[in-house]
A and B are shown apart, each in its own frame.
Chain A
Amino acid sequence: MEWVQQIVNGISLGSIYALIALGYTMVYGIIKLINFAHGEVFMIGAFVGFYSIAGWGFGFFPALLLAMTVCAIMGMVIERVAYRRLRNATRIAALITAIGISLFIQYLVIYFRGAQPEAYPNVLSNKTFDFFGAQISSQSVMILSTSIVLMLLLQFIVHKTKVGKAMRAVSHDMDAARLMGINVNTTISATFAIGSSLAGAAGVFFGVYYTKIEPLMGVIPGLKAFVAAVLGGIGIIPGAMVGGLVLGLVETVVSAFGYSLWRDAAAFIILILILLFKPSGIFGKNAREKV
């Protein structure tokens, strides 16, 4: 029953991609910017988790909460400092700025702590148990269930709370949202905070799952999560979740068939295929407006 195990692995990896992809898609949905610094927020989340567990003896959940909080603040600061003044600039200017911020954060971290990797401490007990003949680790189950809780929480925030409704209104029509009395700047800040906190959580999960973190670790998962967001339909929240899971599964299946060197390539082949055949993504539809 090896394939059951591969599927579980794929879903665990996919849930990490999904959490990162959510931040991409939410930010794109609201200000039409691909925030390429998002992978670095993920990396910072992993390091905050690492230092709080290894340095200060935090448990898994306190470390997760701290990483999410620090990343939320970081997301808001990035938006305030770098993107807000570019809101009416051309999109390419904002995109280049995002890449600049990304490099800046990577090398700032290297400057302060060096480029050496760090081994993530064992914070979750790692028992394996039998599930339909497959060996499932308790870590996978923990990561998967925490991810699901976070995604349900996100759905609740977006659909039931005032700030969530404001986010949806701003992403649909910024001026109309202003006319409702919605503070657009605050709403965009909140979007960055929520998306970045999910990336922070993903960083901690990644560290626990793969046990190795380093300052450039955000680059490839960041790009893949971007692929996941495009795959699901950029700007569409359920799309990011599904896109992340699909990507995680595809990568795991490719590895399972013995082509693990092609793992990363598989993600980008998906991107190319999606852009060629369905640029709006799985959940994307052609926007039509009634006049």
Chain B
Amino acid sequence: MLKVDGIDVFYGNIHALKGVSIEVLEGEIVTLIGANGAGKSTLLKTLSGLLKPKNGTILYENMSIAGKQAQTIVKSGISHVPEGRRVFANMTVEENLELGAFVRKDKEIQKDIQKVYDLFPRLYERRKQLSGTLSGGEQQMLAMGRAIMARPKLLLLDEPSMGLAPIMVKTIFSIIEEINKTNGTTILLVEQNAHMALSVAKRGYVIETGRVVLTGSAQDLQSSDEIKSAYLGG
């Protein structure tokens, strides 16, 4: 479904991604793990069109999307839930969800909003509230719901567990699995919480200072000594 081959991405003079290659197959949950500043978010931003790669190719459903505009990429079926949620704080929950469907012109938008409410009953309770007044976990739900509203085939999730209470992290991860199972949405998940990420993912990539240093099935990564000591706390 997605094939990234040898991309180089720069932030000004900083060489943030150095020849990164990853692959995501249809229906999978794939995780990118790595420390702060390793380049995980940079990779997601490049996939969704916020950043442009200098070299390398990105093929999505056999179509090159490297350097395409973000709006074109959203239309082709990739939605990105950015780090820090980035909900539109001055708008209500429902308006945020409507904006998620911005690229759609069909008549099923209201029906899909209802589906998001079924998935996140908390959002239904708060639908008329300004999203800036939600808790961190609720904002994460809203950011995910908003992304689903575009009916993505591939969902990019950036640090969904960041700053959340352990119980909320569990809820969010079970919903990630549910989205993957019921909608068949492919998911590329960036996480610092490697333990949680590897428990839901099928495969994983480990990124260090802009390079993929290790890849394998989630079980293999979980049992690898290197990963255990660096990311799973022994």
Contacts and interface: CB of A to CB of B under 8 A. Distances in A.
Interface of A: 162, 165-166, 168-169, 172-173, 175-183, 289-291
A173 B99 CA distance: 13
Interface in B136-165: 136, 139, 146-147, 150, 163
Contacts of B115: none
A267 to B, nearest CB: 29
B86 interface: yes
B88 interface: yes
Given A166-B102, A290-B136, A179 B50 contact: yes
B15 interface: no
A180 B99 contact: yes
B89 A172 contact: yes
B177 interface: no
A291 B80 contact: no
A291 B82 contact: no
User: Most chain-B Cβ atoms within 10 A of its Cβ — which of A162, A177, A178, A179?
Assistant: A179
B95 interface: yes
A181 B139 contact: no
Interface string B165-200: 000000000000000000000000000000000000
A110 B146 CA distance: 52
Given A166-B102, A168-B91, A181-B103, A175 B71 contact: no
A169 B88 contact: yes
Given A175-B50, A290-B132, A181 B88 contact: no
A291 B86 contact: no
Nearest to B132: A290
Contacts of B49: 178
Contact of A179 (B74, B75, B95, B136): B74
8 contacts: A166-B99, A169-B88, A169-B99, A172-B91, A176-B87, A179-B50, A290-B134, A290-B135
A165 B99 contact: yes
A172 B90 contact: yes
Contact of B71 (A162, A168, A181, A291): A181
B86 A175 contact: yes
Contacts of A178: 49-50, 70-71
A173 B131 CA distance: 14
Contact of A181 (B74, B84, B135): B74
B48 interface: yes
Given A165-B98, A166-B102, A168-B91, A176 B136 contact: no
Nearest to B150: A181
A162 B98 CA distance: 9
A175 B99 CA distance: 13
Given A176-B88, A291-B84, A181 B50 contact: no
A172 B90 CA distance: 8
A252 B60 CA distance: 64
A115 to B, nearest CB: 44
Nearest to A172: B88
A66 to B, nearest CB: 32
B75 A181 contact: yes
B131 to A, nearest CB: 10
B146 to A, nearest CB: 7
A291 B85 CA distance: 8
B232 to A, nearest CB: 25
A179 B88 contact: no
B86 A173 contact: yes
Nearest to A182: B102
Given A180-B102, A181-B150, A168 B82 contact: no
Interface in B39-74: 48-50, 69-71, 74
Contact of B89 (A179, A181, A289): A289
Interface in B84-140: 84, 86-91, 95, 98-100, 102-103, 132, 134-136, 139
A166 B69 CA distance: 16
Contacts of B139: 290
A179 B48 contact: yes
Contact of A176 (B82, B95, B132, B150): B82
B86 A180 contact: no
Contacts of B82: 175-176, 179
B31 interface: no
Contacts of B84: 291
B74 A180 contact: yes
Contacts of A183: 69, 71
A181 B147 CA distance: 11
A186 to B, nearest CB: 9
B178 to A, nearest CB: 22
